[in-house]
Chains A and B, each alone.
Chain A
Amino acid sequence: AQSVTQLDSHVSVSEGTPVLLRCNYSSSYSPSLFWYVQHPNKGLQLLLKYTSAATLVKGINGFEAEFKKSETSFHLTKPSAHMSDAAEYFCVVSDQGDYKLSFGAGTTVTVRA
């Protein structure tokens, strides 16, 4: 069975400083991994996905994530936070044999001016 643990429920950063959102996963098969962002009262937007190609994945809006199989991690980073990055972020795993998505509990990002 697949599962995801997001290690921080809330992250607060200053505008212009780096953002790190941590995610560990558990999967029985070769997983696909995703990061989604949800702004208030909006649906989920795909930031990036990993599907067994390059371990460093670049996404939209300057975000990137690194897949580390030995650590079962898929942390999301951005070098410089912007006010518009304030939102909730979800790490998601999907097993190759079972295409449903399993979501982490989410990390709320606050950006201070």
Chain B
Amino acid sequence: KAGVTQTPRYLIKTRGQQVTLSCSPISGHRSVSWYQQTPGQGLQFLFEYFSETQRNKGNFPGRFSGRQFSNSRSEMNVSTLELGDSALYLCASSLGWGDNEQFFGPGTRLTVL
């Protein structure tokens, strides 16, 4: 069974631009969560989606948004990029909402110049 896939693996953007990251969960998994990993703040929860609805949200500004499609694939969007948004963005999938055993993808490394 294929694992969680994330595209692209690497991105370079400039301040003020926007970016969209994609995540395909493990087949059969219906819940997708997103995390930001930085050296200074560590791993922080962004949001969780289940059945195309955001079920849980972390403490990030509104520039960070996401969505989930009917096939459970998810995208996250960051608008008006700032230097501090440079990070590894990790996607994790689980069977369903309330299932906290999460399986992580390799991440997308975003660099903002």
Contact = CB atoms under 8 A, between A and B. Distances in A.
B42 A103 contact: yes
A98 B58 CA distance: 12
B9 to A, nearest CB: 9
Contacts of A42: 106
Interface stretch (B60-68, B69-77, B95-103): B95-103
A101 B106 contact: no
Contacts of A105: 42
Contact of A99 (B56, B90, B103, B105): B56
A11 interface: no
Contacts, number: 49
Q: How large is the interface on B (under 10, 10 to 19, 20 to 34, 35 or more residues)?
A: 20 to 34
Interface of B: 4, 33, 35, 42-45, 48, 56, 58, 90, 92, 97-107
Contact of A43 (B4, B45, B98, B100): B4
A100 B103 contact: no
Contacts of B102: 46, 101
A42 to B, nearest CB: 6
